[in-house]
Amino acid sequence: MSRYKASEYRKVLDKAKVCSEEYLDGLSQMPAYPDSKAVEALSIFDEPMPASSSKPEEVIELLSKYGAPATCASSGGRGFGFVQGGILPAALGASWLVDTWNQNAGFYDMSPVSAAIEGVAEKWVTRLFGFPDGSAMGLVTGSATGLLTCFIAARNELISRQGWDVRKQGFKKAPPIRIVLSAEAHSTVMNALYHLGFGTDEMEFVPVDHYGRMIPSKVPALDNRTLLILQAGHIVGGSYDPIDELTDMGRAAGAWVHVDGAFGLWAAVSDKQKHFVKGLGKADSCNMDAHKTLNSGYDNSIILCRDRSALESSLALGGSYVSSTTPNRNNNNYTPEMSRRARGIILWAALKELGRDGLEKLIDNMCRCTEYFAERLEEIGYEKPNPVFFNQFFIKLPTDEETKKALAHLQSSGITWMGGATWKGSHVIRISVSSISITKDSIDECLPAFREAIWYNHR
């Protein structure tokens, strides 16, 4: 007999539903970043492990009462930091179902529904991004893991072409491969390469132009031992490497071409934005986050690999208890994880809700709001050194000190929140328009804080 009856779960779900609805009802009025009082109240959770049990509904109530006020309202309309998306209604509902079903999505035999629906999502996504039918999709927690996954497949395949079996002979004495990447590659790219044993002295960094884009004429001669890593969406300026030209160079040389595009690759689904990623379908692999631009909710990140066998041979698990020869999809063949939640169902739900047209409208509206925001801030008096790329831009004031003071004022205002960065040696304010809740009206609500930040500098 199970310890808990369905009626007891229902009580907890009912409580969670009420708390979630209260949160959503108040989201538009929440501070973009929690105030000090809310953060200090989190100390209530810092207690010794309780000796006795608690009622489940009371646990949910405690979380809602003290946890919710200390959340960042990244799903709201006034948060512009870290390229954080919101969550679509179907994705939220699917997430509740996925947690209730409590499926291990690793193997078909563990969860046929997870394998079947993730397989459908794979076909949808590969076609959305221009990859050939038969390409493999893996789902991981975020781009950091996605990059690591793709680089494992790339490393093993490039070494295999030289007659070396990494799984059998190891990596220590393997023939070398080359890593060619942008001088301004994202830190997660660097971290994934470090995890695989590559140091910066072994990497060949390509200079970038004044927008942060890799310069094709500066790319060293490539060969079939090369992993060429491109960027679709500079983390500060939002710019794109010239993917079409660089993938042609890579393919002509037999290199493995990877495109890192956590938020930026979603330009592929918009007729107005797809010029940024022209040539993407010629890449060998890529990564993008569904929890960013798609607004699927966390944690849901996608990798695509043209060579399914290269991904499977690098990641598939074996064992006498594993049905590795099944004709059905085993999701764990495409990620480093064996045990994970069925995030493919949530990805499918988000895509099913929007459809192809709805997804394009979501992207186009995001980009319109970005352009609108940039124009309003320039009118107020902020400098915008770079043009808007997709849903990203940055602003600054005449001096670093003014910019830093303005950012501090904005972050403490409670009205809006965004992060800082450096660009060409100067401090800047980085703005990402990613949540489905962001509208021109919600942007207008933030503009007084930006005006005050300038006034604050000159009072």
Dump pLDDT digits (tens) for 105-157.
999 999 999 999 999 999 999 999 999 999 999 999 999 999 999 999 999 99
Phi, psi of 93 (to 5 degrees): -65, -40
Residue-range domain boundaries for the chain: 6-73, 94-353, 361-458
Report whether pLDDT(327) > 90.
no
Calpha distance 264→273 (Å, rounded): 10
Q: Provide the 10 A C-beta neighbour count for residue 171.
A: 13
Residues shown for the chain: 459
Mean of the pLDDT values across residues 351-362?
Answer: 98
Calpha distance 397→417 (Å, rounded): 17
Mean of the pLDDT values across residues 335-354?
Answer: 96
Predicted local distance difference test score (pLDDT) of residue 321 = 67
101 pLDDT tier (thresholds 50, 70, 90): very high
Predicted local distance difference test score (pLDDT) of residue 376 = 98
> Is 415 within 8 Å of 32 (Cβ atoms)?
yes
Predicted local distance difference test score (pLDDT) of residue 397 = 97
* Interstrand relation of 178-182 and 226-231 (parallel, antiparallel or unpaired): parallel
459 pLDDT tier (thresholds 50, 70, 90): low
H or E segment to which residue 301 belongs: strand 301-305
455 pLDDT tier (thresholds 50, 70, 90): confident
Predicted local distance difference test score (pLDDT) of residue 140 = 97
Report whether pLDDT(31) > 90.
yes
- pLDDT one-digit tens code per residue, 196-207: 999 999 999 999
- pLDDT one-digit tens code per residue, 46-95: 999 999 999 999 999 999 999 999 999 989 999 999 999 999 999 999 99
Calpha distance 233→212 (Å, rounded): 10
Strand order in the sheet with 392-395: 392-395, 426-432, 419-423
Predicted local distance difference test score (pLDDT) of residue 253 = 98
Mean of the per-residue pLDDT values of the chain: 95
Interhelix angle for 400-412 vs 440-458, to 10°? Answer: 130
What would be the CATH architecture of the domain defined by 94-353? 3-Layer(aba) Sandwich (3.40)
Q: Is the pTM of this model over 0.85?
A: yes
> Is 400 within 8 Å of 427 (Cβ atoms)?
yes
- pLDDT one-digit tens code per residue, 222-261: 999 999 999 999 999 999 999 999 999 999 999 999 999 9
Mean of the pLDDT values across residues 438-453?
Answer: 97
Predicted local distance difference test score (pLDDT) of residue 207 = 98
Predicted local distance difference test score (pLDDT) of residue 314 = 94
Predicted local distance difference test score (pLDDT) of residue 40 = 98
Percent of the chain scoring above 70 in pLDDT: 98
1 pLDDT tier (thresholds 50, 70, 90): very low
CATH number of 361-458: 3.90.1150.10
Phi, psi of 180 (to 5 degrees): -120, 125
Predicted local distance difference test score (pLDDT) of residue 457 = 72
Phi, psi of 389 (to 5 degrees): -115, 115
Report whether pLDDT(319) > 80.
no
Predicted local distance difference test score (pLDDT) of residue 323 = 61
- pLDDT one-digit tens code per residue, 267-312: 999 999 999 999 999 999 999 999 999 999 999 999 999 999 999 9
